[in-house]
Structure 1
Amino acid sequence: MKRVFVAGAHTDVGKTFVACGLVQAALAAGVSVEALKPVASGFDPDDWIDSDPGRLLRALGLPLTHEALEGITPWRFTAPLAPPMAARLEQRDLSLPAIADYCAARAAQSCADFFVIEGVGGLMSPIAEAATGLDLMGALKFPVVLVGGSYLGSISHTLTALETARAHGLTVAGVVVSQSRDPEAPAFLETLCEVQAFARDAPVFGAPLDDLTDWPPRLYEAL
């Protein structure tokens, strides 16, 4: 089984876009896939079709039902805050061991050929009480696909996240630079080339806006 953890160098850089691209590439290759986004905040239970879990379910070809939602994202919080902050508002517990054990058990029990986990926010965003996304990644030890943007400052964010992951003993299987929707953002191809120049042995892929035709199959094959 191939396993991968899709992490962000920052928030709103396209983690779900990349996770969906990998899912679709694997399915197109005839491979069975299972995916999780174990924790989500800013979640509207009355309008979640276009949420991150909803988009992952559609990529998997699964029905948009409450049962399917519960299976892909068991920890959901309404406030658009870091998950532990949102959990406190709802007076709910959110612990790293619970999340890590759940993810590990699901991966161990899965019969799928490809297992994808998507994190929240950036690499060091809090995901549970006294724990960041990096802590979850360290507990699971899945190879990492790191997603960065192409906004002004994104090169530093991406390379810092890359070195942080490596310093914690994680295998970075690929880096994806997603194109910014901001018309004032630096040139996408130049940003991509700058990241490639400093990424050393990590393969770097460019993800143009809304384009899932080229890079997902190449990224999937690189894992």
Structure 2
Amino acid sequence: MKIYVVGIHTGAGKTHFSAAFCEAFGYDYFKLIQAGSPKDSDFVAKFSPKTYIFKEGVFMQTPASPHAGKKLENLSYKGLELTLPQSENLLIETAGGLFTPLDEKTTMIDYIVTFKHPCVLVGRYYLGSINHTLLSLKALDSREIPLIALVMMGERDEHFDSFIQSYAKVKIVHLPFFTESDFKAKSTECKKAFDSIL
């Protein structure tokens, strides 16, 4: 099974979740586009060293929106021509949010629509996250992109959860951010939560 990991915005916690999920379920990891260093794949390799990591679809040195980095570095690629690795169990981490540019003409969600697989939407709790979460859920639903679950990173906010569940009726999985000392425990929590979903 191929699964996209998408975010409600940049810095939502996609890479933290990816490391925990790959460790828990033995998935391979692929970063569609990497802008800047250190690489997200380095983080995954550090926490989940048994995970097989494919070379990213595109790498750019510039830590910026890919369409800007592409121009600054004179890179030549077309976003919708990037190919996914051959793997029976592959986690595909996108960059930024759903509408983050992939190149000058397309966004992450355009790629997902073109090469459709189920996705996990990752968010974190902050003022404004309800709006960003609902907009992201609506974007996925309107394009008929299957949603496995909404994963919320960080300390649980009951007010957020109750509103999102009431309004959007989606499954919410909670995963605190982790350190090296508690990664195994958090990965186990992740596995328990998704065992009943997948």
Name the TM-score, length of structure 2 as normaliser: 0.87
8 Å Cα contact 2:124-2:152 kept in structure 1: yes
8 Å Cα contact 1:84-1:94 kept in structure 2: no
The Cα shift of 1:214 comes to: 1.6
Q: Cα deviations across residues 58-96 of structure 1 (Å, max 9, x unaligned)? A: 355259xxxx87x33141111121112101101012312
Q: Is 2:34 the counterpart of 1:36?
A: no
Q: 1:138 aligns with which of 101, 104, 113?
A: 113
The Cα shift of 1:13 comes to: 0.5
Q: Give 5+ residue unaligned stretches, structure 2.
A: 179-185
Aligned pair count reads 191
The Cα shift of 1:220 comes to: 5.1
Give the 5 Å matches for 1:128-207.
128-179=103-154, 188-200=157-169, 202-207=170-175
- How far apart are the structure 2 equivalents of 1:216 and 1:72? 25
Indicate the percent of aligned positions where both proteins have the same amino acid. 25
Q: 2:77 aligns with which of 75, 84, 94?
A: 94
The Cα shift of 1:157 comes to: 0.4
- CA change 1:59–1:209 in 2 (3 A) is closer
Letter in 2 for 1:41: A
- How far apart are the structure 2 equivalents of 1:188 and 1:178? 10
Letter in 1 for 2:80: P
- How far apart are the structure 2 equivalents of 1:192 and 1:144? 19
- CA change 1:122–1:81 in 2 (3 A) is same
SS at match of 2:99: coil
Give the 5 Å matches for 1:40-59.
40-43=34-37, 48=38, 51-59=39-47
Partner of 2:183: none
- How far apart are the structure 1 equivalents of 2:187 and 2:167? 25
- How far apart are the structure 2 equivalents of 1:134 and 1:13? 16
8 Å Cα contact 2:18-2:91 kept in structure 1: yes
Partner of 2:181: none
The Cα shift of 1:168 comes to: 0.8
The Cα shift of 1:221 comes to: 4.3
SS at match of 1:218: helix
SS at match of 1:128: coil
Q: 1:73 aligns with which of 56, 67, 71?
A: 56
Q: Cα deviations across residues 122-173 of structure 1 (Å, max 9, x unaligned)? A: 1111012211010011111110100111010001101110011110111111
- How far apart are the structure 1 equivalents of 2:195 and 2:98? 21
Q: Cα deviations across residues 96-119 of structure 1 (Å, max 9, x unaligned)? A: 2221xx11xx2xx32x4x211000
SS at match of 2:109: helix
Letter in 2 for 1:23: C
8 Å Cα contact 2:35-2:65 kept in structure 1: yes
Q: Give 5+ residue unaligned stretches, structure 1.
A: 28-32, 181-186
Partner of 1:3: 2
SS at match of 1:206: strand
Letter in 1 for 2:56: T
8 Å Cα contact 1:94-1:129 kept in structure 2: no
